[in-house]
A and B are shown apart, each in its own frame.
Chain A
Amino acid sequence: ETGVTQTPRHLVMGMTNKKSLKCEQHLGHNAMYWYKQSAKKPLELMFVYSLEERVENNSVPSRFSPECPNSSHLFLHLHTLQPEDSALYLCASSQADNREAYGYTFGSGTRLTVV
């Protein structure tokens, strides 16, 4: 399997639930990203991992917790979310030492609905 794979594709969760989003890339990239895409708003960068270290955290609430156990996998752990957290969550990867040559490769996203 190639590219960036995100699971699940759709997730409905209650505000008291705990769930995790998974992202896996088979491109040999060494940087991974979480973006949030809400209706009528621009893409919001949430977290950046480069060589498995978190290098950027854009003031994301603590109810979102990322994890990058290796360069191929990225998780987003969710707990006690709010309805306004409902959105499409996109994972992307790139080659951090030459990212400008390739840009990002995106997954298909997880559509999250918080009820």
Chain B
Amino acid sequence: DTGVSQDPRHKITKRGQNVTFRCDPISEHNRLYWYRQTLGQGPEFLTYFQNEAQLEKSRLLSDRFSAERPKGSFSTLEIQRTEQGDSAMYLCASSPGFNQPQHFGDGTRLSIL
């Protein structure tokens, strides 16, 4: 399978804990994106990378959120001191370049108890 892969598929944690998600993009894609989706809404853009450089962050990305892509391949998204409102599906996508269609992974579903 050469698509975008995300790990874990599901994460349940207590409020206040830190969580980290991983995304492996399609191998030849240099752009990687993170989105968040809550029930009944379309995905909302969080941040994106071109290679290892983080080029844009949404206002949704509070200071409790940090994303990295240290070697320009896989990326991690960390949420510190999780809150109830962080419960959502976190989606990763990749594309071969600017303005190109983005291909999504299966997502990580986060539930905060």
A binds B: no
